[in-house]
Chains A and B, each alone.
Chain A
Amino acid sequence: MAETRPYKKPLPRVDEESRGYWEALARHELYFQRCRDCGTTRFYPRAVCPSCLSSATEWVRASGRGTVYTFTVTQQNQTAGFRDELPYVLAMVELEEGPRLLTNLVGCAPGDVRIGLRVEVAFEDVTGEIALPKFRPA
């Protein structure tokens, strides 16, 4: 059952460069991008390759597996939504394909998180249109 409380945390401001990424997440699929000209992979998604400025882009589906690159157990955040869920784990996860993304770790006690911990994506549907790529121990 979806949560009946209104979702108070900030929602992503989806734009023309990121729409495909968020639409895929809503289907519970995690993608990053690769430049068709120079082959450089990139996260977050954007229209133009920062390496060669090409607009020729392909989407690459991530396996969803990765490891914790770094993290912090947040004990204080005044923002609505987060204030009610302290403590929570803010982490940077390195996907096995290489790119790193900022996320939350779920499904484990904050005290059990370590750098190098193997994790897998856990999609969290927060509204009808938006799912967030969070991660849990694999």
Chain B
Amino acid sequence: MSIWGNTAVVGAWEHPTRFAPHMTPFQIHAESARGALADAGLTIRDVDGFFTSGVGPIGLLSLCQHLDLRPDHVDSTSIGGSSFVSHCLHAAAAIAAGLCQVALVTYGSTAASERFAVGTAGLVMGEPPDQFEAPFGPTIVGSYAMVAQRHMHEYGTTSAELAEIAVTMRRHAGLNPHAKYREPITVEDVLASRVISSPLHLLDCCVISDGGGALVLTSAERARDLARRPVLVLGGAEAVRHLGIGRHDLLDVAARQSGPLALARAGVRHDDIDCCMIYDSYTITVLATLEALGFCKPGEGGAFCAGGRIALGGALPVNTDGGGLSSNHPGMRGIFLVIEAVRQLRGEGGEAQVSDARLALVHGTGGMLGQRHSGVTMILGRS
């Protein structure tokens, strides 16, 4: 059975918390599993495939114990914040291959209440490349900032153009009652916020929150008998970029490989896409990703994101929940991209609904954009 079009997301649930000092990450996983399975009209006993990340080297086993799961198929692919988008693709493949029937993907984190400085904590040393980097003080935000600096150099992209992305995300967050920050901001506010790692300002950076979520996938055939309108997995692809042997063009990001492949596998074109959920760890991530996916030419990202074009009502609404820049970012945000795409394709977006949304593109970025990162693109469609 082909993967594409034959598997579906049938349950999706985002944990409403943004600050949970009274909770553990595993509790957030469990509550999210409950939410997504209830949404699907299934029980935990139906789950025979389990997918998670961000829980330690054998954390998947501990989480299986916590949830008393005995799955036939597991996958703990860990490639940064995009991992959960990857899990959806792997779940779709596993379902299509008959390795499992009901796949549960969960995420939970208390990064904010543990006061974990996700972007500015410095990077751990342990794997071979780290010894050539960590002595010089790289941070996650610094890695993305070096890409932004290079983009500005090659194409004349401005801080004001990046700022407009943050302004748009905040506008969307104003429509999301659960978003961490909802007060409108202006380009001037972004430019006046303190520089964290030049050229990126505080408001170019995602928030740090607690949170989690879960997804349930199954075959399109079984989905027809379930509670909610299925959202079909129509295509997807993964890619990795890194400094390699020391000649890598920093503006060649993974989306350039995974985007066209995912669209081709889904048999759709850029013009067909009604909305995008793009991992927005930083404003530059959105700009570089949209260019690399092919929604505009290299260097045109600033103009593409200007004038409300990526806002609700614009040509290509992006991150209608407010994204990581304003709604939530507990460290690994990929699952929320999928959850928001599902919400849109079911027509449950409320005030933030994209009219007649039929096709959504999700792209997760994981790792450090300027050193080594993953990109996972998935095309979802209304059934």
Q: Using a CB-CB cutoff of 8 Å, which residues 83-125 of chain A contact chain B?
A: 88, 90-92, 98-104, 110, 115-116
B136: contacting residue among A18, A50, A116, A132, CB under 8 A: A132
In contact, B136 and A78 (Cβ under 8 angstroms): no
> Does residue A51 face the partner (Cβ distance < 8 Å to B)?
yes
In contact, A79 and B243 (Cβ under 8 angstroms): no
> Does residue A27 face the partner (Cβ distance < 8 Å to B)?
no
Q: Using a CB-CB cutoff of 8 Å, which residues 52-101 of chain A contact chain B?
A: 69-79, 81-82, 88, 90-92, 98-101
B200: A residues at CB distance < 8 A: 72
In contact, A100 and B246 (Cβ under 8 angstroms): yes
| Known A73-B195, A75-B198; contact A9-B131, beta-carbon cutoff 8 A | no
Q: Using a CB-CB cutoff of 8 Å, which residues 365-381 of chain B contact chain A?
A: 370-371
In contact, B195 and A75 (Cβ under 8 angstroms): yes
B149: A residues at CB distance < 8 A: 70-72, 115
B245: A residues at CB distance < 8 A: 40-43, 50-51, 99
Instruction: Name A100's closest neighbour in chain B (CB-CB).
Output: B246
B128: contacting residue among A17, A75, A98, CB under 8 A: A17
In contact, A46 and B142 (Cβ under 8 angstroms): no
Q: Determine how close the nearest CB of chain B comes to the CB of A43; give it in whole angstroms.
A: 4
CA of A16 to CA of B114 in the docked complex: distance in angstroms? 37
> Does residue B145 face the partner (Cβ distance < 8 Å to A)?
yes
A-binding segment of B25-33, B115-123, B173-181:
B115-123
> How many residues on B have C-beta within 8 angstroms of the other chain's C-beta atoms?
42
In contact, A104 and B136 (Cβ under 8 angstroms): yes
* Secondary structure call for the A interface: loop
In contact, A44 and B246 (Cβ under 8 angstroms): yes
Instruction: Name B243's closest neighbour in chain A (CB-CB).
Output: A100
> Does residue A128 face the partner (Cβ distance < 8 Å to B)?
no
A138: B residues at CB distance < 8 A: none
A15: B residues at CB distance < 8 A: 128, 131
A73: B residues at CB distance < 8 A: 195, 197-198
CA of A15 to CA of B131 in the docked complex: distance in angstroms? 9
B131: A residues at CB distance < 8 A: 12-15, 18, 44
Report B's interface with A, CB cutoff 8 A.
117, 120-122, 125-126, 128-139, 141-142, 145-147, 149-150, 153, 194-200, 243-248, 250, 370-371
